[in-house]
Amino acid sequence: MIDIEHYVKKNSAVQSFVKDHTPGHLDKYIGTLDYATARFNTILLRLSQEPLLLDEYSTQVYECFEAIQSFYKNTRRLNAWPKVSHPFIKVMLYGIGMRRIPKIKKLLEEINN
């Protein structure tokens, strides 16, 4: 069984990062984080209302959570690390954004139906 409270607490750091962000070169990454986190929170809200679905989707919820955390970690790296490392980090973010982040939208659509 998943602990929804744990996910909400861990995602609060992501939400505060998005909220405190000043406009600049990270806008598309921050936007992706914002959408992904909002969708993930909606998923958690729906699953908290229907306990029977909670166990059924626990693996997928964990994968979505890990995707958000990885994207967040690499976005922070892009912001803080030297410019020499930026191409490598951008490739990592692209991979996460293309393969793992869409699973959040897919799971939300699955739960809504």
For the chain, what are the domain ranges?
26-112
Contacts with 29 (C-beta within 8 Å, 6 or more apart), sequence order: 71, 75, 78, 93
Q: Report pLDDT digits (tens) over 42-97.
A: 999 999 888 888 888 989 999 999 999 999 999 999 988 899 999 999 999 999 99
Q: Report pLDDT digits (tens) over 26-39.
A: 788 999 999 999 99
